[in-house]
Amino acid sequence: MIFHLVLISAQVQSNAGIPVLQGITFGFFSRLQGGGASAIRGVADVWHNYVGLRGVRAENEVLRQQVADLEVRLQEQRALAARAERLQATLDLRASTKLPTLAAEVIAGNPNSGLLTVTVNRGSVDGVEPNMAVITSKGIVGRVIAPVASHAARVQLLIDQNAAIGAITERTRAGGMVIGTEPDPPLRMELVSNQADIVPGDTVVASGIDGIFPKGFTIGNVERSERGSSLHRLITVRPAVDFSALDEVLIVMVPARGAVVEETAPREGKK
């Protein structure tokens, strides 16, 4: 019966004009071929995706490294630009001031908390002497203290508790003395009468009476000014110089006028 059915199917034609047996076998094998092709395509897609992902991963690693290198270069360029800007400001100050100055680079700080100093790469062979003033384009940094080495010198910062500088306010010319303190802000203006007209925001400059610091150079700005319980006002000053970011400074090559006592010990009444 099966044999007869096969013979009949081979002889009988369908509506499409092809033998029924051929249509059945073609449909059956086409389904098998379609399934096989789908399986092959699936395997091929998985393989290509795997290989592609491996390539993308390697490319991502390369791109990450390139981005990291570019970020480092960008930081280097920013640092160079900032240094160039500071150097330009220092050069502008040197060109604008009539005082003889010597450019110096800060090469070290002082780990001793009792004396706030930095070390610069200029010394006695360059003509540097104790009590010479040190400035930047922002304002006064401090003074050179003894001993001075051949190629290096220590600079006592203005915010050191043992530092002092004669000062006046730029607006009213009220005079006093600015000293270093521990609290924030790190400067205090003393010996100013309660009657003096000093308000927050006033600029404080060097008076020049100490014989060390050049007259008129900026010290900072008044942050608080209150009437004191005694004869003098309570005045705090925010320094104009950022002492945490000192790189290049200028040493004023003018010896101190008169005898100036080197102060490396705390002032009387201070610890």
Partnered with residue 117 across adjacent β-strands are: 156
Residue 160: predicted pLDDT = 92
Q: Which is it for the CA torsion 71, 76, 80, 85, positive or negative?
A: positive
Mean pLDDT of the chain: 80
pLDDT band at 54 (very low <50, low <70, confident <90, very high): low
Q: What is the pLDDT of residues 4-42, one digit of tens each?
A: 555 665 555 555 555 655 556 655 556 666 677 677 777
CA dist., res. 138 & res. 167, Å (int): 16
How far is Cα 256 from Cα 156, in angstroms, rounded to an integer?
15
CB atoms within 10 A of CB 38: 10
Residue 235's Cβ-side half-sphere holds a number of Cα atoms within 13 Å equal to 33
Share of the chain above pLDDT 90, in %: 44
pLDDT at 180: 93
